Structure 1
Amino acid sequence: MADVVVALEQPSRIKKGLQNDASVAFLAGGLAGAVSRTVVSPFERVKILLQVQSSSESYSGGVSSAVKQLYKEEGVKGLFRGNGLNCIRVFPYSAVQFLVYEGSKNFIFHVDGVNGNGRLTTFQRLFSGALCGGASVMATYPLDLVRTRLAIQTANLRKLQKAKATSMAKPPGVWQLLRNTYLQEGGIKGLYRGVWPTSLGVVPYVALNFCVYEQLRELVPSQSAYMLAIGALSGGIAQTATYPFDLLRRRFQVLAMGQSELGFHYSGVADALITIGKTEGLRGYYRGLQANLFKVIPSTAVSWLVYELTRDFIKAL
């Protein structure tokens, strides 16, 4: 009789354990994303400006000089412009990634944290990473689009001020940008402008990031220095491999902000790739890569470290 009771109780125990694991993954993943992006916020904004500027514009001379120039023109506030919205976006974005990844392990490949029954293969890690990357994009994309526009709009206003000797007007805020995009650019379709090239970049990036990190994680001790190192390595490899699509992601997000001022116009992803190659050469596909690596490498390292430490802390409570 006791064996029957244990057998009946076992599914509920496993379910409770998985639910706890899901909650831990969501909270730890969200916190990891918010902390890591705040650390590298100045590089994030410089990267966006480099990606969307024309070849004749003023942010040149390397990442450090671009950061100094941005600080000189807009102060400390300019270095972190858009970071509040970024944290609002990144918390669920990162949380969904880790939640879906753990869910994929538990329910698709039956590798869970309750019984510890095995590890994912390389293909399974890539599949789970791609799945969580796609889910996170769809869940938070409108905020990503608005954050990109928020990051560049003051730079555009500053250029107009120099050209026309006019005073800089106060740029629209987050909710006004969301509202204007929805009303003026086709509703939901406008809020998801650029989601296809974004997915082309984010999905393989997240897949590679999770796969490389977990592969390397099996080879190193559970120490902060090692976790930072392999987190940096996984982020650098993944971002470099998928960077041209990250550039397309930003350019498609800002196309409606003024094609004549930005200096480019594309009818689709294929047209964008061909046009960039013809007009900007091979280097055009990697415009802003250096700034992006300045952001991605420490950001990914901090994200994985904070995730693992937070997860272990919560589980120990």
Structure 2
Amino acid sequence: MDSFQLEDFVAGWIGGVASVIVGYPLDTVKVFGFFKGMSFPLASIAIYNSVVFGVFSNTQRFLSQFRCGELEDGPGQSPSDVLLASMVTGVVSVGLGGPVELIKIRLQMQTQPFQEVSRGLRSRAVAAYQGPVHCIATIVRTEGLTGLYRGASAMLMRDIPGYCFYFIPYVFLREWITPEACTGPSPYAVWLAGGIAGAISWGTATPMDVVKSRIQADGVYLNKYRGVLDCISQSYRQEGFKVFFRGITVNAVRGFPMSAAMFLGYELSLKALRGDHTVRSG
């Protein structure tokens, strides 16, 4: 059997839609602008998660097939395969997700005041971007194509360990919760394992998420940071060590329902697409 399976991408897209609907209000709270830019992430993050789950599952199967000459599915999955697949997913996620998160954050930051000097002494709030397309065009015009990957280094340092703490706990918690007599995990096991994995992943990723978000939000009206180290240095000098854990509670709280919805949507849709009688990823 071929290790590549397209339905993982379709199921990931469905799970992505579920996670955005469940978690987006809490996501905007930590950046400002409640429901700002909702249409963009609903369309794009679903595609992003489609790639994430598709890459993870297919990479895991490829590694298992390469190592053993056959596909491993379910109990007994190699920890090294899950680890390597998670790391590959983290790298790939930056290539696609960097511009997505940049545009989302820029649109969410529209609530920041901006002084329009061309109209005399009076200032007023002016939106820098009219929408996702205008935001992309403005960034490319003013910063070049590389501007779409502002904060990519910080995102890479967030996502490689972040996806390790996302998929590894999920895979093994799901199997630990599932009784040995069962042929596959129940929807409850998927929901609980996915929620816990999401809380763990977002909690541990918070420091680099703070840095990444600050770098990506930078440049809307002013350029404050010269890079990751400069952002870390300035943030520490001005606000102390605690700044890197700002929003950790919101991240962990929102990570549970978002990831629970993500994995449950993924697993159930994958089951329907494959016509399986058990819930099983990979």
TM-score (ref. length: structure 2): 0.84
Matched residue of 1:172: which SS? coil
Q: 2:90 — aligned with what?
A: 133
Work out the CA distance in 1 between the residues paired with 2:46 and 2:57.
17
Q: 2:77 — aligned with what?
A: 120
Q: Which runs of 5+ in 2 are unaligned?
A: 179-184, 277-282
Work out the CA distance in 2 between the residues paired with 1:170 and 1:209.
35
**Matched AA of 2:112:** N
> Does the CA contact (< 8 Å) of 2:200 and 2:252 recur in 1?
no
Matches within 5 A, 1:218-237: 218-221=175-178, 222-237=185-200
Q: Establish whether residue 175 from structure 1 lines up as the match of residue 133 from structure 2.
A: yes
Q: 1:311 to 1:113 in 2, by over 3 A?
A: farther
Aligned with 1:299 (options 247, 253, 258): 258
Q: 1:109 to 1:115 in 2, by over 3 A?
A: closer
Work out the CA distance in 1 between the residues paired with 2:127 and 2:81.
51
Work out the CA distance in 1 between the residues paired with 2:69 and 2:15.
21
Work out the CA distance in 1 between the residues paired with 2:192 and 2:234.
37
| Post-superposition CA distance 1:276-316 (Å, at most 9, x none) | 22221121011222222232111011101111111111111
Work out the CA distance in 2 between the residues paired with 1:168 and 1:188.
25
**Matched AA of 2:11:** A
Q: Kindly, what percent of the aligned residue pairs are identical?
A: 24
| Post-superposition CA distance 1:203-251 (Å, at most 9, x none) | 2111210011001111123222222222111111111112110111111
Q: 1:28 — aligned with what?
A: 11
Work out the CA distance in 2 between the residues paired with 1:201 and 1:294.
18
Q: 2:233 — aligned with what?
A: 274
Q: Establish whether residue 156 from structure 1 lines up as the match of residue 112 from structure 2.
A: yes
Q: 1:28 to 1:169 in 2, by over 3 A?
A: closer
Q: 1:5 — aligned with what?
A: none
Q: Which runs of 5+ in 1 are unaligned?
A: 1-13, 50-77
Q: Establish whether residue 314 from structure 1 lines up as the match of residue 273 from structure 2.
A: yes
> Does the CA contact (< 8 Å) of 1:244 and 1:286 recur in 2?
yes
Note the C-alpha offset of 1:173: 0.9
Q: Establish whether residue 90 from structure 1 lines up as the match of residue 42 from structure 2.
A: no
Work out the CA distance in 2 between the residues paired with 1:117 and 1:27.
20
Q: Establish whether residue 101 from structure 1 lines up as the match of residue 53 from structure 2.
A: no
Note the C-alpha offset of 1:160: 6.1
Q: 2:104 — aligned with what?
A: 147
Q: 1:203 — aligned with what?
A: 160
> Does the CA contact (< 8 Å) of 2:215 and 2:231 recur in 1?
no
Note the C-alpha offset of 1:138: 0.4
> Does the CA contact (< 8 Å) of 1:202 and 1:246 recur in 2?
no
| Post-superposition CA distance 1:5-59 (Å, at most 9, x none) | xxxxxxxxx23xx44xx2111000111012111211111111123xxxxxxxxxx
> Does the CA contact (< 8 Å) of 2:12 and 2:46 recur in 1?
yes
Aligned residue pairs: how many? 264
Work out the CA distance in 2 between the residues paired with 1:31 and 1:82.
20
Q: 1:313 to 1:173 in 2, by over 3 A?
A: same
> Does the CA contact (< 8 Å) of 2:199 and 2:254 recur in 1?
no
Matched residue of 2:112: which SS? helix
> Does the CA contact (< 8 Å) of 1:93 and 1:137 recur in 2?
no
